[in-house]
Chain A
Amino acid sequence: MEAAAEIKDHYRSDFERLRDGLPGGRIPWMKRRREAALARFAAQGFPTVRDEAWKYTDTGVIARRTFTTASPPARAALARGDLAAFTIPGLDCHRLVFVDGRIAPELCDLDALPAGAAVGGLAAALEGDAAGVEKLLGRLADDDGNGFAALNTAFMTDGVCLRLADGVALERPVHVLHLSTADTDGTAVHPRNLVALGRGSRAVLIETYAGLREAAGLTNVQSEVLLGEGAELEHYKLQQESAKTFHIADTGVHVPAGARYRAHGIDAGGRLVRNGVRVRIDGAGAECELNGLYVLAGRQHVDNHTVIDHLKPDGVSREFFKGVLEGHARSVFSGKVIVHPDAQHTDARQTNHNLLLSENAEADTRPQLEIYADDVKCAHGATVGQLDPDALYYLQSRAIDEDAARSLLIYAFANDVIGRLSLEPVRSYLERTLTERLLHGRRVEDLI
């Protein structure tokens, strides 16, 4: 669908305004890519509910507004003290901070990186090693698939660029804070993340998306994850933006032989959120695990849209998504698994459970298995329901009052996902923050 003329004009003029200041502005291939992406966006526009992949998520609220890309701040917008609200206690990590889509070097901690590890901002990587970035950037982006991705390629400002040479183990996790300071509606940021791990290397990446104020902004993220054979990435994405923010993210992942990708997406914030994850299981014994938890209230809408392509034999994929919904919240889970003819002995499993705490909340769950190989194991299960009355009765018969019993069961439901996280500090952090949210300010300790 063609973008409405005035919307197209808005993004074109915003692009003209920024063009020379965007990263890689003097690099010919980068300029060409941005121009081409803008043309693609103009041609296809934002997705609509007529697109099968966006059937349950109406992005009209985004398409009808005009979002203007955040300009580089005139001076440092944040001090170190401002980060305390977003850091994870007890986590020993490298830290990268992006404020309104651009790196804030004075807030970053990148000491003691091992040899063979290049960790920093994408904009800086484009300046310092344009040829190296050119080979990686854009390989897994979804520019042809949806207008948001194309818009990201046209406007991308900065994001994490994590590259490891073969056999490098990055022991400390990398925590990336994407913070927005906008206090008026209509600001857009277009973070672009690039992760490329060499053969047999491994890393842990934690991304936090958060805002300092409540504003109807657009966070439009595109991430690309390229793993080498036998490489391992554990990727956390903690989305805790304001309840007015629109957050559209897409992640493309390539998992070759023996490599392993584990992702944990936790959504607590946002007004309308879309997490697209596309994984290519493209080598013998490649594995991916996608876990997700969404805790929603009010009129929040979160759409987790995953597509896993099993292209080669002996691949393993696991998906485990759970959600707790209150108020008029709405969730969508679409899990497509395509087992291609070559992908014999694929082992794919998918689960989505939703707990509705209000009559007005709604959860849609759509498993989609397309299997073109004959010797595979594929399973899926999905539920949408309320708290189990038998479990409530059992707890009450053990002297626990109804309110506490309900809270305990809600906590337990969500904790099932949090318990799968490997990093203890992240687990404790989420247990605390999400529990406070789930239990309306109460702590689990108060229940016992």
Chain B
Amino acid sequence: MLSIRNLQASVDGKPILKGLSLEIGKGEVHAIMGPNGSGKSTLAHILAGRDGYQVTGGEVIYRGKDLLDMPTEERAREGVFLAFQYPVEIPGVSNIYLLKAALNAVRKHRGEGELDAMDFLKLVKERMKLVEMDEQFLYRPVNEGFSGGEKKRNEILQMAVLQPSLGILDETDSGLDIDALRVVANGVNALRGPERSLMVVTHYQRLLDYIVPDHVHVLAGGRIVKSGDRSLALELERRGYGWIEDELRATGS
């Protein structure tokens, strides 16, 4: 599904990713953990196509295509979805309008016809149940005045409507209380399937109690420095990130 090979990237001339490699197979859930400032969010945004990063080396192959070569919207149409850590408020554009515009763009790209208004509404309402969102949110401006939890649920709703092949969740747990976290995680779990891969970026293990990953990677100093199964996340929770940085120093890398 996704092959990241020796990816190097910088912001304003400052290197952030320094040779990151990662393979994500079809249907797999990978957690990317790491200390603050290690480059986790940078990785998520480079994959989604945000401006302002200079890729200085390496490549990203997504379903056989060069991902970094595609414009942002094309990545989304090809099935890449980023659930933002800080979803953007867009006054004047209603949620339902955005959902419809996005879904139709994706369907058009796939060579499918646009959904008519009835079918679209039916689909959206059904997906809203996954994240326990009230219908009134459809008619409110995108994320405007939403609480932290509502914004995150809205991200997962968009993902549920767009049905991406690769979902990237950037710190989806940040700012959520335990109940909201459970709702969001249930929504994500409902979207797991053999055709859909997920990259879950998080600082805390807590989210992984609910979204159980197949693989856990530690990102530090701009590279994946350790990979393992779920037990690695538990160890990180117990011991923090310090020991990994100590190990890195000890091996001189």
Q: What residues of chain A have their CB less than 8 Å away from a CB belonging to chain B?
A: 388-391, 393-402, 404-405, 408-409, 411-416, 419, 447-448
Q: Does B72 contact A (CB under 8 A)?
A: yes
Q: Does B123 contact A (CB under 8 A)?
A: no
Known contacts A398-B76, A447-B101; is A393 also within 8 Å of B91 by CB?
no
Q: What residues of chain B have their CB less than 8 Å away from a CB belonging to chain A?
A: 48-51, 71-73, 75-77, 81-82, 84, 87-88, 90-93, 97-98, 100-102, 104-106, 109, 141, 158, 162
Please indicate the chain B residues that have their CB under 8 angstroms from the CB of A401 in the complex.
71, 73, 105
Please indicate the chain B residues that have their CB under 8 angstroms from the CB of A398 in the complex.
76, 98, 101-102, 105, 158, 162
Q: Please, how many angstroms separate the alpha-carbon atoms of A399 and B79 in the complex? A: 9
Please indicate the chain A residues that have their CB under 8 angstroms from the CB of B141 in the complex.
412
Please indicate the chain B residues that have their CB under 8 angstroms from the CB of A390 in the complex.
88
Most buried by B among A389, A397, A399, A419: A399
B73 with A412: CB separation less than 8 A: no
Q: Please, how many angstroms separate the alpha-carbon atoms of A412 and B72 in the complex? A: 21
A399 with B102: CB separation less than 8 A: yes
Please indicate the chain A residues that have their CB under 8 angstroms from the CB of B101 in the complex.
398-400, 404, 408, 447-448
Q: Please, how many angstroms separate the alpha-carbon atoms of A411 and B94 in the complex? A: 12
Further pairs besides A397-B50, A402-B73, A416-B92: 10, Cβ < 8 Å: A393-B72, A394-B90, A397-B81, A397-B82, A399-B101, A401-B71, A401-B73, A405-B73, A412-B90, A415-B92
B73 with A411: CB separation less than 8 A: no
Nearest chain-B residue to A419 (Cβ)? Answer: B92
Known contacts A400-B101, A448-B101; is A391 also within 8 Å of B73 by CB?
no
- 5 residue pairs from A and B, CB less than 8 Å apart: A393-B50, A395-B90, A398-B101, A398-B102, A399-B162
Q: Please, how many angstroms separate the alpha-carbon atoms of A405 and B48 in the complex? A: 16
Nearest chain-B residue to A393 (Cβ)? Answer: B50
Known contacts A395-B98, A398-B76, A402-B73; is A412 also within 8 Å of B105 by CB?
no
**Shortest Cβ gap from A447 to chain B (Å):** 6
A399 with B109: CB separation less than 8 A: yes
Q: Please, how many angstroms separate the alpha-carbon atoms of A50 and B91 in the complex? A: 39
Nearest chain-B residue to A418 (Cβ)? Answer: B92
A394 with B91: CB separation less than 8 A: no
Q: Please, how many angstroms separate the alpha-carbon atoms of A400 and B82 in the complex? A: 14
B51 with A393: CB separation less than 8 A: yes
Q: Tell me the number of A-to-B contacts counted with CB atoms below 8 Å.
A: 81
Q: Please, how many angstroms separate the alpha-carbon atoms of A396 and B74 in the complex? A: 8
Please indicate the chain B residues that have their CB under 8 angstroms from the CB of A397 in the complex.
48-50, 72-73, 75-76, 81-82, 84
Nearest chain-B residue to A390 (Cβ)? Answer: B88
Nearest chain-B residue to A401 (Cβ)? Answer: B73
B104 with A448: CB separation less than 8 A: yes
Identify which of A402, A408, A419, A447 contacts B71 (C-beta below 8 A).
A402
Please indicate the chain B residues that have their CB under 8 angstroms from the CB of A412 in the complex.
90-93, 141
Please indicate the chain B residues that have their CB under 8 angstroms from the CB of A415 in the complex.
92
Please indicate the chain A residues that have their CB under 8 angstroms from the CB of B48 in the complex.
397
**Shortest Cβ gap from A435 to chain B (Å):** 12
Q: Please, how many angstroms separate the alpha-carbon atoms of A412 and B89 in the complex? A: 12
A400 with B102: CB separation less than 8 A: yes
Please indicate the chain B residues that have their CB under 8 angstroms from the CB of A393 in the complex.
49-51, 72, 88
Nearest chain-A residue to B79 (Cβ)? Answer: A399
A389 with B51: CB separation less than 8 A: yes
Q: Please, how many angstroms separate the alpha-carbon atoms of A405 and B82 in the complex? A: 17
Q: Please, how many angstroms separate the alpha-carbon atoms of A402 and B72 in the complex? A: 9
Known contacts A448-B100, A448-B101, A448-B104; is A396 also within 8 Å of B92 by CB?
no
**Shortest Cβ gap from B144 to chain A (Å):** 10
Q: Please, how many angstroms separate the alpha-carbon atoms of A412 and B92 in the complex? A: 4
Q: Please, how many angstroms separate the alpha-carbon atoms of A396 and B98 in the complex? A: 11
**Shortest Cβ gap from A82 to chain B (Å):** 35
Q: Please, how many angstroms separate the alpha-carbon atoms of A317 and B210 in the complex? A: 51
